[in-house]
Every structure is written in C-alpha cells, then in structure tokens.
Copies of this chain bind each other. A is one copy, B any other.
Amino acid sequence: MSTDLQVASALDALNDIEKRRYALYYALASIGWLAETADPPKATPGRGEALAELDARYNELLTGPELGAALDVLRDADGLTWQQRAQVRVASRDRAEQSAIPPELAARWCKLTNEATAAWLEAKANNRWEAFEPYLDRLVALAKERCERIDPGRDPYDVALDQNEHGTDRAFYDAFFAELRETVVPLVHAVERAPQISADCVRGTFDRAGQWELTRDLAFSEGVDPEKLVLAETEHPFSEGIDSDHVFIATHIYPDDVLSGVFSVLHEGGHAMYEAGVDPAFNYTCLRGGTSMGVHESQSRFFENMVGRSRAYAPRLLAAMATHFPDQMRDVTAHELYKACNRSQPSLVRTEADELTYPLHIMVRYEVEQALFAGEVTAAGVPALWAEKYRQYLGIEVPDDRRGALQDVHWSQGMFGYFPTYALGSAYAAQFAHAMAQDLAAAGTPFHDVLASGDLAPVRAWLERNVWQWGRAKEPAQIVADACGEPFDPGHYTRYLTDKFSALYHLG
C-alpha cells in the first residue's frame, strides 16, 4: 500500500505530465489546423520536421518511466475521486496501447503508410488499382502485426475494431450490419422503384459570400458558442477540439451545391459542441474530448440528420437560407426544402451519399475489410468484390476504381476498423433521439416542438447531460446505456430510417 504522501506526489506527477501533453497536443492541433486551412505548399517539409519531433515528445511522455511510476502508485490507491480513478484508467490504457508497438514496428508502419498514401493519391488520380494493390496487401499484413502486439492471440480484426471503438468486435458489428442488411437494403430498393423526389428548389448558384454568412448563422443557431470557435473554409471538412473552451470547424462551400455546405457545417458543429461540452474539469487531462469515434459521429449525425434534415426544423432552415438568398428561396416552401434535403438515390461515392444509402457504403467496406483480414481475399480481388457488393446492396454498377475501391484515403493510412464507426454513429444518434424524445415529452417540451421553435437549448441540455459532459471518462457502451436506459439497439436506427423514408416516398 502506498502512503498518502506517495499518492499525493503521484497525482502531482500525473497532472504535470498531463499538462505537458496538453501543451504538445495544443501545438500539434494548431499546426494541423494551419496545415489544412492556411499553409502554403513550401511549408510542408518544415512542418513535417516539427510535427515528427512534437509527436515523438507527446508519445514519449505517455510511454516514459515517470508516468509509469505515477500510475503504478495510483492504480491501487485508496481515496481517489471518481475523476481521478477515470484519469488513471484512461491514462493506463492509452499508455498500454502506445507501449505495445515497439519503435521498430512503429517506424515501419510510419514509412509504409507514408508511401502507401502517396501511391494511393497517384493510383486514384490515374484510376489505376494496380498501383495501390501491392501496398494494400502489405498494409493489411502490417496492421495485423500491430493488432497482434496490442492484444496477442485475439483475432486481429476484432482488435482493430476495438481500437477504433472500445468494446466492439466482429460479433457486435455482424449483428448490427445483419439488421441493416435485412431492413435498409430492401428499403433502398423500394425507394428506387418509387416516384422520385425533386431537388430543383435548391439548384442554381448560391454565391460564396452569402453561403459563408449562412454557414456562420447555422453554426451559431445550432448552438456552437461563438466565443469558443475558430471557423474556416477547407476542401475536406473536419473539426477539432483543444479543450472545452476552444474548438475548430473547417467546412466547405460549393457555389453550385448550397445544401452540401449547409449539412457540412451542421455536421461539424455537432462534433464541435461535443468537444466544447465536456466537463471543464477535464481540461488539461486525458479525459478531455470525445470518448470514441462512434459517439463523436453520433453527435455530428444528430445535428446533421435528426435536426437539420427533419421535417420540423425545415421552416427554420428555410428562414436561415432565405435571409441570405431571399430571391432564390422566395418561392420555396418548407416542405419542398425538406424533401430536397432527403432525396435518396444509390450512388458510387460514400461522401456524397444520402442519409438512407450511407450505411450501405459502410457495410461494403466492413465486409471487404473483414475478408482482407481473414485472408479470404487479397488486394487483387478487392475491386471485383467491391463491385459485387455495390450491385447487391445498392443496385448499381461500379464503372471504375476511382469511384470504387480507390475513393477513400483511409486504407492508405492504415485505418482499418474505422469505417464501421461511421454507421454506428448514425445508429447511436437514432437511439439517442428516441430516448431524448421520451424525456422531452415527459418534460412537456416535445422534440418536434423544440425543433420547430428553432431554439435547440433543450436538445443540447439533454446531450450535454447524457453524452458531452462525460468526455472520455465513460466508455461508449456505458454512455448509450446510461443515456437511453437500455443497451445499444440498432432497431432504433432501422425503424427511424424505415419510418422516415417510407413516409417521404409513400411506400406501402
């Protein structure tokens, strides 16, 4: 047993290391933000030097003997607060994961993913699968080697899934995707046979300056605090949180596709509010930020789809758009806008997919990854497998690899097991919406009325109480169970999609 003095000194050491890591994370995030939004081309080599050095120090603090000694004392210490126990648990896991990869393997991984990303860029530009193919086999092999190191003896793809969303494995996702396969695939086919919805009311050119103002309005009206936000334009939207008082949103604007920008900022705003909603007491510790990819995606999808693409919110969205584009929106009704926002059509490219077909894009990737890890297919066989699954699930032919298995950057960066969290996030969001609707109704402020009012404070309060405030101190499954009073159940998601799209497309 450690003495009180040893515990106090270990806590000091832990917090000191946490603060030093926070400073390095702050630096890495700031440099990364500038890289995506501002840096000129010639800055690249110097930035690479700086990032490599800062990243090495960041990891060194995690794997170093100082933190190890502090955690050894604290793991069995009595009298720690709830937050301190969570901090010790999360820091210990982060440390174990980081320490599991020997430097030699980390270096090989870094080298391979760098080369593979360059090869992928070129392969995609030239629509040449063969140029990326050898890298994919090597990436899978090395990813499996990493997984073996992290959890020896366990199935490597189970490890990869667990790394991206703690508590998940193939059995979990198999059940999830089985339910999607049974309900969403026939729904997509039924929608395809039904009379199509028109999006003509939002066609045309919406000028950049007006869209930028609209973007700001939407971010602030959904609830992002202007006093915490840095907002910029970029090609590939993303968001980032430094602490609960400081968040970044990079979004895109296309003059010929106003809805793309609208849903980009609503989506990123959800991520940003999650980061900003974490208990401020967790700032400067490993408990800051979101607990997992899936829960993070649930927050972005919630604001993008359950709010932004809802029938109840459509009049609010129309009003926001009409403020900046009065002429173009003059003759548009809220119902026309609602339908335009929810037009569903099987397509080839994941990032352009609608709410209904999106999870099927993810299911294809999940199944292909699983086959790669199981050795049932090698990279050479991926394009054919990909085409077969797009035919089966989405009913479309893949004309080339550029719009097929080469479309996403993820694999070239070794991100296996990541895609499934995108679909899982949407499913979490539907389950949160269901539980929230019950709670709001019980409180006399029905969800529909809140959306229709445009004042989303009750929605944010529910999310803050049940999801945001916990940061990394609660595991994803615990978040869902505590928030919803039941374990994760994908039925909420499939029922939500079935109800919404059956009504939109007047399906029997």
| Beta-carbon contact of B22 and A230 below 8 Å | no
A19-36: which residues lie under 8 A (CB-CB) from chain B?
Answer: 19-20, 22-24, 26-27, 30-31, 33-34
**Which of A240-248, A343-351, A368-376, A384-392 participates in binding chain B?**
A240-248
| Beta-carbon contact of A40 and B228 below 8 Å | yes
**Which of A44-52, A129-137, A155-163, A403-411 participates in binding chain B?**
A44-52
A42: CB under 8 A from chain B? yes
A54: CB under 8 A from chain B? yes
| Beta-carbon contact of A26 and B40 below 8 Å | no
A480 to chain B, nearest CB (A): 30
| Beta-carbon contact of A246 and B46 below 8 Å | yes
A396: CB under 8 A from chain B? no
A1: CB under 8 A from chain B? no
* Closest chain B residue, CB of each to CB of A35: B30
Residues of the B chain whose Cβ atoms lie less than 8 Å from the Cβ of A46: 22, 26, 242-243, 245-246, 283-284
| Beta-carbon contact of B43 and A242 below 8 Å | yes
Residues of the B chain whose Cβ atoms lie less than 8 Å from the Cβ of A53: 19-20, 22-23
| Beta-carbon contact of A50 and B33 below 8 Å | no
A125: CB under 8 A from chain B? no
| Beta-carbon contact of A227 and B40 below 8 Å | yes
B-contact bits for A36-75, CB 8 A (1 contact / 0 none)? 0011111101110111111000000000000000000000
Residues of the B chain whose Cβ atoms lie less than 8 Å from the Cβ of A225: 42
A433: CB under 8 A from chain B? no
A180: CB under 8 A from chain B? no
A229: CB under 8 A from chain B? yes
| Beta-carbon contact of A49 and B19 below 8 Å | yes
Copy total for this chain: 2
Contact A228/B43 with A30-B31, A33-B34 known, Cβ cut-off 8 Å: yes
Q: Which of B40, B42, B226 contacts A40 (CB 8 A)?
A: B226
| Beta-carbon contact of A246 and B31 below 8 Å | no
Q: Which of B41, B245, B284 contacts A42 (CB 8 A)?
A: B245
A277 to chain B, nearest CB (A): 13
* Closest chain B residue, CB of each to CB of A54: B23
Residues of the B chain whose Cβ atoms lie less than 8 Å from the Cβ of A228: 40, 42-43
| Beta-carbon contact of B230 and A42 below 8 Å | no
Residues of the B chain whose Cβ atoms lie less than 8 Å from the Cβ of A30: 27, 30-31, 34
Residues of the B chain whose Cβ atoms lie less than 8 Å from the Cβ of A51: 23
A19 to chain B, nearest CB (A): 6
Residues of the B chain whose Cβ atoms lie less than 8 Å from the Cβ of A19: 49, 53
Residues of the B chain whose Cβ atoms lie less than 8 Å from the Cβ of A20: 53
A108 to chain B, nearest CB (A): 23
Q: Which of B33, B40, B45, B54 contacts A27 (CB 8 A)?
A: B54
Contact A38/B245 with A31-B26, A47-B26, A53-B23 known, Cβ cut-off 8 Å: no
Q: Which of B27, B40, B43, B243 contacts A31 (CB 8 A)?
A: B27
| Beta-carbon contact of A284 and B34 below 8 Å | no
CA distance A45 to B230 in the complex (A): 16
| Beta-carbon contact of A49 and B284 below 8 Å | yes
Residues of the B chain whose Cβ atoms lie less than 8 Å from the Cβ of A38: 230, 232
Residues of the B chain whose Cβ atoms lie less than 8 Å from the Cβ of A39: 230, 246
Residues of the B chain whose Cβ atoms lie less than 8 Å from the Cβ of A33: 34
Contact A49/B31 with A42-B225, A230-B39 known, Cβ cut-off 8 Å: no
* Closest chain B residue, CB of each to CB of A229: B40
| Beta-carbon contact of B284 and A45 below 8 Å | no
* Closest chain B residue, CB of each to CB of A34: B30
| Beta-carbon contact of A40 and B246 below 8 Å | yes
* Closest chain B residue, CB of each to CB of A50: B26
Residues of the B chain whose Cβ atoms lie less than 8 Å from the Cβ of A283: 46
CA distance A228 to B46 in the complex (A): 11
Residues of the B chain whose Cβ atoms lie less than 8 Å from the Cβ of A27: 24, 27, 30-31, 50, 54
Residues of the B chain whose Cβ atoms lie less than 8 Å from the Cβ of A22: 46, 49-50, 53
A460-491: which residues lie under 8 A (CB-CB) from chain B?
Answer: none
Query: Besides A23-B49, A23-B54, A43-B245, 17 other CB < 8 A contacts?
Result: A19-B53, A20-B53, A22-B46, A24-B27, A27-B50, A30-B31, A34-B34, A38-B232, A40-B226, A40-B230, A42-B225, A42-B227, A42-B246, A43-B228, A46-B242, A46-B245, A46-B246
**CB-defined A-B contacts under 8 Å, sample of 13:** A22-B46, A23-B50, A26-B47, A27-B30, A33-B34, A39-B230, A39-B246, A41-B227, A42-B227, A42-B245, A43-B242, A43-B245, A43-B246
Would you list the 3 A-B pairs with minimal beta carbon distance, nearest first? Answer: A27-B27, A23-B53, A26-B50
